[in-house]
Structure 1
Amino acid sequence: MKVTGNLPGSPCWAQLSASDPEAAKQFYGQLFGWTAVTDPDPQFGGYTVFELDGAPAAAVAPLMNPQQPVMWLISISATDADATAQAAKAAGAQVWMGPMDVADRGRWVLLSDPTGAPFALWQANRFNGFGVVNEPNAFGWIDQTSRDAKAAVAFYREVFGWQIWPDENYPMVGLADTMFGGIMQMGDRFPPEVPSHWSPFFVVADVDTAAEQAARLGGEVLHGPVDVEMENGPRIAVLRDPQGATFGIFAPRA
């Protein structure tokens, strides 16, 4: 589905920070059929938008410093990034960078929520974020693996007004009566050093085929493929790319 704007308070962008952006372009290009379009302006430091049929689908950028982890970062749409950052800080978030203008593209803030999960705010100007969602090889869901799921749910409900669909194991979140994500409490299988984190999930036509392709390209299948045990639940898999960034794939059940 092509989109021209993103609902304030909803996920609006997914950006990969990679130690080897060129290798990331190859991996995700072959996995999802994305075309890598690198901004030629040196002020953007090689920032590359992945396009799907000409529409912005995600991005990759070099690490800002060697200590930065290789990871996917989710951005949430904000009509006023400064005010939203202040509200998030008052609710227990840590503001790490910004608010700052990104040329004429928009205004950006890097934060972490009270559970430690990093995320960003994006106030669009010339660049809205996702130009395509909820179709094969495009973004479709966000998932937080959390050290404190209850605290995370309370934070995002307070700051962004997210609706909550309660579930003992996996409360789902969204806006305007539309779900776009879920928050899962970490279990014992996660090493203690793993922090709370958000991961994007991308829609695929066939989860098993895509997982096999990711493995052939040097990635790793961490979980699945498996059918989610709920009515009309999707088939999913959690993957790790060759540089260590985790993300998910899913296919709606027919």
Structure 2
Amino acid sequence: MNPPTPGVPSWVDLGTADLSDAIRFYSALFGWEAEVSGEEYGGYTTFSLDGRAAAGAGPLYGEGQQTAWSTYIATDDADLIAARVEAAGGKVLVAPFDVMYQGRMAAFLDQAGAPFSVWQSGTMRGADVFDAPGALTWNELTTRDVEGSAAFYGDVFGWVARESAMGDGTPYIVWELGGQPIAGIRPMDGDEWPDDLPPHWMIYFAVADCADSAAYAQALGGSVVQPPTSLPIGCYAVLTDPQGGTFSILQGANA
């Protein structure tokens, strides 16, 4: 098995106020199977899709924390990334540390305050499945500081920002690494973005039918924040789980 490519989003996990209910919700919605770890890992749960690791979830540990999904970017040197983050104007929230023999991780804020993490793989490489229904398919930074963010992640990971546009003409940035698209920036422009909404990384899971999945999420106790919306790349919707964790689903144009 090949190691994950450094600089590419390789894992996502959920910090949740109700791990048991999150397991119920996401297992039903995406067909995931949950494997709950022992006490030494605090009950951290790995979700699998057809036997391949797809995402993770765990309880909240800090007082005042809210249920949220996190994006992890692969690296072969978490300590080097931590130094680059600080040099580029970001902040180290959790300094690099070993997660037993599974790998090494760290958590940061970018220059605008959006949280993200890195994962240096050991025995656990990250996700083993992408772009299939129920698997991670895209990671997108939503921010008011597009220019600053393009520079920050370029300095930290070597990403190259390419100007693009959404189907309605809204400006969009595609990040590339080695000539391949690996993530995006969506500007927080316009009235649709509340002033108190902080910058954040949005996670997209692939689905076979966007409308059906959105309706099913609602039936399972979640909410539809952005109803199914068609773009040239496909149909997407923004959802929340019963604990308020926000995520998106995407039905590709060829699905």
The Cα of 1:220 is off from its aligned counterpart by: 1.1
Partner of 2:219: 216
1:72 paired with 2:75, answer no
Give 1:8-27 correspondences, 5 Å limit.
Answer: 8-27=6-25
2:106 match: 109
Distance 2:40 2:144 in 1: 36
Asked if structure 2 preserves the Cα contact closer than 8 Å seen for 1:33 and 1:52, the reply is yes
Q: Any idea what SS the aligned residue of 1:57 has?
A: strand
Normalized against structure 1, the TM-score is what?
A: 0.94
Q: Partners in 2 of 1:64 and 1:4 — Cα distance?
A: 33
User: Equivalent residues in 2 for 1:184-223 (5 A)?
Assistant: 184-187=186-189, 188-223=191-226
Deviation string, structure 1 residues 12-44 (Cα, Å, up to 9, x no partner): 11010000000000000000000110112x121
Q: CA deviation at 1:59?
A: 0.5
Q: Any gaps of 5 or more consecutive residues in structure 2? A: 166-170
* Length-normalised TM-score, structure 2: 0.94
| Aligned-residue offset at 1:45 | 0.5
Deviations along 1:105-129, one digit per CA (max 9) or x if unpaired, are 1111010100111000111111100
Q: 2:206 matched to 1:170?
A: no
In the alignment, the residues of structure 1 paired with residue 147 and residue 226 of structure 2 have an alpha-carbon distance, to the nearest angstrom, of: 24
- Pairing of 1:51-200 with structure 2 (within 5 A): 51-167=48-164, 169-187=171-189, 188-200=191-203
After superposition, the CA RMSD in angstroms is 1.3
* Counterpart in the other structure of 2:252: 252
**1:153 Cα deviation after fit:** 1.4
Query: In the alignment, is the contact (CA less than 8 A) between 1:117 and 1:198 conserved in 2?
Result: yes
1:47 alignment partner AA: Y
Whole-angstrom distance in 1 between the partners of 2:109 and 2:225: 25
Q: Secondary structure at the match of 1:171?
A: strand
Number of residue pairs aligned between Structure 1 and Structure 2: 248
Amino acid at match of 1:144: L
CA deviation profile, 1:35-90 (whole Å, cap 9, x unmatched): 110112x1211000001011110011000123112100000011110011101110
For 2:36, give the aligned amino acid.
T
Q: Which runs of 5+ in 1 are unaligned?
A: none
Matched-pair identity in %: 38
**TM superposition shift of 1:163:** 2.5
CA positional deviation for 1:226:
1.1
CA distance in 2, matches of 1:243, 1:180: 29
State the secondary structure of the residue aligned to 2:172. Answer: coil
The aligned residue for residue 44 of structure 2 is 47
2:20 counterpart SS class: helix
